[in-house]
């Protein structure tokens, strides 16, 4: 039994937001949806929820189109705030629970339970606008789970959270996973994905370039720079060793058959990277390229080749 996404396509005017995204999430799994800004992650989630109709493709749950399932099947945490700023926290959580089919007693009990679990019991009577950004994010998460949905879609759930609250949310997600919930969340943070996810789907430029269980992307001999442990649709080109330092990145491998590179013809000769490439692919040891929109190859030769932050063209 799976959450199936097949060949999703969506165009907004001249912008082709999705160009054939396909992946499957096993029931009870936690799955990461990864990609740079504008890659199509949020559009994919909104299509799953039925908020945006696809131009082509289908979404199924346990073999049936999701439109045939009740809306209470889903819990959704949007990237932007979607709550009432002047309404007390407990009151609006109970209200949202009732909208999902809970009785008044069940909704109130669910609101109290989740506020306690997230350390927000003392804020139950405060208005949302009186809370910090991080606490507002926790209330938004509580709104997504107050009705105990079977599937959770979380768009950047760790946004605005300090390390303590992020750790609390990780614990909660692990508990929900243990209860058999199916969780799909988007993130830019590889450490969160590595710790929480059973599998990942990489989305770039509206395409699902790589997808599969997490073990496929963690080679057993990473310390030696070997690519022999890689499996799946992205096959890396080995480079020299990998050491991360603040502000600098040494890349071990480039997923040379990904749509990103294949579509732009950016593979260099003899496994060398191009002079300028998208920031997105990661080396086999889990090192991410810089956070700027592009990265520049800036080394000279041999062991001293490094990644460096580049904000200029």
Domains of the chain: 2-208 (3.40.50.300), 221-310 (no CATH)
Instruction: Show the low-confidence residues of the chain (pLDDT under 50).
Output: 219-313
pLDDT of residue 275: 36
Q: What is the pLDDT of residue 207?
A: 84
Which residues share a beta bridge with 183? 30, 152
DSSP string, 185-219: EEES-HHHHHHH-SEEEEEETTEEEEEEEGGGGS-
pLDDT value of residue 39: 87
pLDDT in the model for residue 265? 38
- Specify the pLDDT at position 188: 78
pLDDT given for residue 268 in this prediction: 35
Question: Rounded to whole angstroms, how far apart are CA atoms 258 and 137?
Answer: 34
How much is the pLDDT for 216? Answer: 64
Which residues are CB-contacts of 20 (< 8 A; sequence separation ≥ 6)?
A: 7, 8, 9, 57, 206, 207, 208
The secondary structure element, H or E, covering residue 173 is helix 163-178
């Amino acid at each position: 039994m799976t959450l199936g996404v097949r060949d999703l396509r969506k165009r907004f005017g001249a912008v082709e937001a999705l160009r054939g995204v396909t992946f499957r999430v096993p029931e009870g799994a936690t799955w990461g949806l990864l990609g740079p800004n504008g890659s199509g992650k949020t559009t994919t989630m909104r299509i799953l929820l039925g908020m945006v109709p696809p131009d082509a493709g289908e979404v199924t749950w346990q073999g049936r189109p999701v439109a045939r399932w009740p809306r209470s099947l889903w819990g959704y945490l949007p990237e932007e705030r979607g709550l009432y700023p002047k309404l007390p926290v407990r009151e609006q959580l109970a209200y949202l629970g009732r909208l999902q089919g809970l009785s008044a007693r069940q909704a109130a009990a669910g609101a109290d339970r989740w506020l306690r679990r997230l350390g927000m019991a003392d804020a139950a009577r405060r208005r949302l606008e009186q809370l910090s950004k991080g606490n507002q994010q926790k209330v938004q998460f509580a709104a997504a789970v107050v009705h105990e949905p079977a599937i959770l879609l979380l768009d950047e759930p760790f946004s605005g959270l300090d390390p303590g609250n992020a750790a609390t949310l990780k614990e909660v997600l692990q508990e929900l996973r243990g209860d058999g919930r199916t969780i799909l969340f988007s993130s830019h943070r590889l450490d969160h994905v590595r710790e929480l996810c059973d599998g990942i789907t990489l989305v770039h430029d509206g395409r699902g370039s790589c997808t599969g269980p997490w073990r496929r992307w963690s080679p057993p001999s990473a310390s030696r720079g070997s690519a022999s442990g890689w499996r799946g649709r992205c096959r890396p080109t080995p480079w020299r060793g990998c050491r991360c330092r603040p502000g600098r990145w040494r890349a071990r491998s480039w997923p040379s058959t990904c749509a990103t590179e294949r579509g732009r013809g950016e593979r260099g000769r003899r496994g060398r990277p191009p002079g300028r490439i998208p920031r997105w692919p990661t080396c086999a040891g889990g090192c991410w390229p810089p956070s700027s929109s592009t990265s520049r190859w800036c080394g000279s030769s041999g062991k001293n080749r490094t990644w460096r932050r580049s904000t200029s063209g």
